[in-house]
Chain A
Amino acid sequence: MIKTVFFTAISLIFFYIIWINNFFAHKEKYEMPAQYARIAEDVKSYAREGKQLFEQNCQACHSVRYDSVYISAVQANPKLKTLQEKYGKVLPKDVYEGVFNEDLMALKESFGKVPPDLSTIYLVKGKEYLFNFTLEPQKVLPGTSMPAVMTGRPEETAKIVAYLKSVSEPTPEEKSKRVLMGIGTIAYLVVMGILIWLWKGKILKRMGLH
């Protein structure tokens, strides 16, 4: 009995540490004022406004390919439409980088590297980092070539973060559907498990094995 408890406990603690919350691993934490965090979370109300802000402030250098938003120089290029008719709205990376190489190289010349595509950046960095970095790039990542475009405009920055979240994550309706699906699946399995267990008891009693 003591052995069972010991091995169960040690296994559970082990998987809790490596799969759920590793308090031994070093993690960088960034703070975000609550009122802006609320804006960045609220995709429904702010994503559209955030996209406009993105077009005004970020699109000169950054693309969001998964939302078929390309850098301004490309967006103005008539070739884009022809390519999109052929490949779909989201151009394959090699086609995009091959055809619009000149525009991307022009950016590389001024910044030292091609500014990254931001399709999945929200999933990589999280809202706190994005908010702080966009507001004051030099403070968060000294030496970065990202210009301080949004400094002093925290609310608009939060809205842009909300837009990036809307690109990276499923929509709120889709999310709640998934939650429902998850609960349904788990409930089904738990009920089936209990039924099989009860059935087993019944059959074994009949067989005289209990």
Chain B
Amino acid sequence: MLGRLGRWIDERAHLSELWQSQMVDYKVPKNLTFPYAFGIMALVAFAIQVISGIFLTMYYQPDVNKAFDSVNYTIMKEVPFMWLIRQVHAAGANFFLAVVYLHIFTGIYYNAYKKPRELTWIVGWLIYFVLLTTALTGYLLPWGQLSYWGMVVTAEIPTSIDSAPIIGKLKIGETISLWMKGGYEIGQITLGRFFGLHIWLLPLILLLLVGIHLYLVRAAGISNPEGREIDKKKEGVPFHPYITLKEGAYVMGYLAVFFFFVFFHMSHFLPADNYDPADPFKTPAHIAPEWYLLAYYTIFRSIPDKFLGFVAFNLSLLFLLLLPFLDFSPLKSARNRPLFFVMFVVLVISSMALTVLGTMPPTPTNAILGLLFTGGLFAFFLSLPLISIIEWGWYKARGGEKR
């Protein structure tokens, strides 16, 4: 009966043909390494956020008087199992960003941003940027002390444009800050627009971008850890069942780690200070953004001039976007590029160190360390054109043969 129903649908919808052409006949390199699974993990994390988020909107109230209680009483104590949904959503946001970071670094390591995949990289960068905004807007919603004061500090950052020599007179920064807050202070209007952005606009944009990203991955083909394009007719293994099963097993492992944190280690994802309701008259001792923004925050804060700091952290984002054009070497994948590999290690260590420095108090030593690692971060991006020129030389000397 069920089989007949399936055949009836299939004769009309041609789903098995779609499956055959898109999943089985789709060939991918056999040697995909473990880091390639971060992409599918990010997709799973996104799905988890959407589903848990839908349930949270059923009980959350975007009202400055009710937001804190709706989260900490209604959701955490009153409605059965909503504590689990909230913990999944809170830990999920952190895991989503962590996996996206790992995915980005994997892409950099295997040079997955190079021709013909520049557009995949650019769309991926847009996803990352929208994701950061989504995380930022969502962080305000519980209306705790950290939510409130974190946003006070974040909304102050654009005003550093106003300390620039000439354009500072235009007060662009203040205008941006006012747009973010919807007024001169963070209140009901801020909460309302952040709620709307967080549950509707930004996730829809994300959904669209993720769709385009996936299409582009399929259109250009998956990259190869060896850095050469495979001949899809002769080599390569079927995507299903080879990759689906392999990465399916990895996803199970990922979810196991994720649920370990959800059930047994929430202290970082639901920090103690955020159980204190937002109070505009009480400034907490340590205000720092969430960990996924700390690297930019450290860049911003360790440069003595406010405007230059602002420029520097925006420049690091811009360089990330322009990566495919900074690195024009004919060689692909860090496996074939010793110079690139060294600079990649510099990048990894610098960005990790910048993040950790962001959690520490701003002492003079830390400021110098911050400057040092900011230098390391920019050294990676600025060394790429140089490395590319050197590698063009090697490539030509070998007679231009592909590796």
**With an 8 A cutoff between CB atoms, is A111 at the interface?**
no
**Among listed A42-50, A55-63, A131-139, A198-206, interface-contacting one:** A198-206
Q: Across the interface, do A182 and B259 meet the contact criterion of CB distance under 8 Å?
A: yes
B334 shortest CB reach to chain A, Å: 9
Q: Across the interface, do A22 and B359 meet the contact criterion of CB distance under 8 Å?
A: yes
Q: Give the contacting residue for A124; candidates B66, B83, B264, B273; CB below 8 A.
A: B273
In the complex, residue of chain B having the shortest beta-carbon distance to the beta carbon of A179: B263
Chain A contact residues: helix, strand, loop or mixed: helix
B360 — which chain A residues lie within 8 A by C-beta? Answer: 24-26
Chain B 76-118 interface mask (CB, 8 Å, partner A; 1/0): 0100000110000000001000100010000000000000000
In the complex, residue of chain B having the shortest beta-carbon distance to the beta carbon of A24: B360
A30 shortest CB reach to chain B, Å: 13
A185 — which chain B residues lie within 8 A by C-beta? Answer: 259, 263
Q: Across the interface, do A18 and B259 meet the contact criterion of CB distance under 8 Å?
A: no
B73 — which chain A residues lie within 8 A by C-beta? Answer: 66, 90, 119
A190 shortest CB reach to chain B, Å: 5
**With an 8 A cutoff between CB atoms, is A178 at the interface?**
yes
Interface hits, B254-270 → A, CB 8 Å: 255-256, 259-265, 268
Give the docked Cα–Cα distance between A210 and B261 (Å): 35
**Among listed A7-15, A32-40, A70-78, A154-162, interface-contacting one:** A7-15
**With an 8 A cutoff between CB atoms, is B246 at the interface?**
yes
Q: A7-B348, A19-B94, A24-B359 are in contact. Are A209 and B272 (CB under 8 A)?
A: no
Q: Across the interface, do A24 and B69 meet the contact criterion of CB distance under 8 Å?
A: no
Give the docked Cα–Cα distance between A7 and B268 (Å): 23
Q: Give the contacting residue for A199; candidates B65, B83, B245, B291; CB below 8 A.
A: B245
B323 shortest CB reach to chain A, Å: 19
Q: Across the interface, do B359 and A25 meet the contact criterion of CB distance under 8 Å?
A: yes
Interface hits, B227-263 → A, CB 8 Å: 237, 241-242, 245-246, 248-250, 252-253, 255-256, 259-263
Q: Across the interface, do A19 and B268 meet the contact criterion of CB distance under 8 Å?
A: yes
Give the docked Cα–Cα distance between A90 and B263 (Å): 27
A85 — which chain B residues lie within 8 A by C-beta? Answer: none
Give the docked Cα–Cα distance between A26 and B359 (Å): 9
B255 — which chain A residues lie within 8 A by C-beta? Answer: 189
Chain A 50-94 interface mask (CB, 8 Å, partner B; 1/0): 000000000000000110000000000000000000000010111
Give the docked Cα–Cα distance between A147 and B256 (Å): 48
A197 — which chain B residues lie within 8 A by C-beta? Answer: 245-246, 249
B361 — which chain A residues lie within 8 A by C-beta? Answer: 26
**With an 8 A cutoff between CB atoms, is B47 at the interface?**
no
Interface size class of B (residues with CB under 8 A): 35 or more
B291 — which chain A residues lie within 8 A by C-beta? Answer: 18-19
Q: A7-B348, A209-B237 are in contact. Are A126 and B259 (CB under 8 A)?
A: no
Q: Across the interface, do B245 and A124 meet the contact criterion of CB distance under 8 Å?
A: no
A20 — which chain B residues lie within 8 A by C-beta? Answer: 265, 268
B294 shortest CB reach to chain A, Å: 8
A14 — which chain B residues lie within 8 A by C-beta? Answer: 352, 355-356
B84 — which chain A residues lie within 8 A by C-beta? Answer: 181
Q: Across the interface, do B245 and A200 meet the contact criterion of CB distance under 8 Å?
A: yes
Q: Across the interface, do B66 and A92 meet the contact criterion of CB distance under 8 Å?
A: yes
Give the docked Cα–Cα distance between A17 and B360 (Å): 12
**With an 8 A cutoff between CB atoms, is A186 at the interface?**
yes
In the complex, residue of chain A having the shortest beta-carbon distance to the beta carbon of B273: A124
In the complex, residue of chain B having the shortest beta-carbon distance to the beta carbon of A3: B341
Chain A 102-142 interface mask (CB, 8 Å, partner B; 1/0): 00000000000000010110011110000000000000000
B155 shortest CB reach to chain A, Å: 24
Q: Across the interface, do A120 and B259 meet the contact criterion of CB distance under 8 Å?
A: no
Q: A24-B359, A178-B263, A204-B242 are in contact. Are A196 and B272 (CB under 8 A)?
A: no
Q: Give the contacting residue for A120; candidates B66, B252, B276; CB below 8 A.
A: B276
In the complex, residue of chain A having the shortest beta-carbon distance to the beta carbon of B251: A193
Give the docked Cα–Cα distance between A19 and B267 (Å): 8
A49 shortest CB reach to chain B, Å: 22
**With an 8 A cutoff between CB atoms, is B163 at the interface?**
no
Q: Give the contacting residue for B272; candidates A17, A65, A119, A126; CB below 8 A.
A: A126
7 contacts across the A-B interface (CB closer than 8 A): A66-B72, A170-B83, A186-B263, A190-B252, A196-B252, A199-B245, A209-B30
In the complex, the 9 A-B pairs of residues with the closest C-beta atoms, listed nearest first: A182-B263, A193-B252, A200-B245, A94-B65, A123-B275, A189-B256, A197-B249, A120-B275, A196-B249
Q: A193-B253, A196-B249 are in contact. List 5 more A-B contacts (CB 8 A).
A: A19-B261, A19-B291, A66-B73, A66-B77, A204-B242
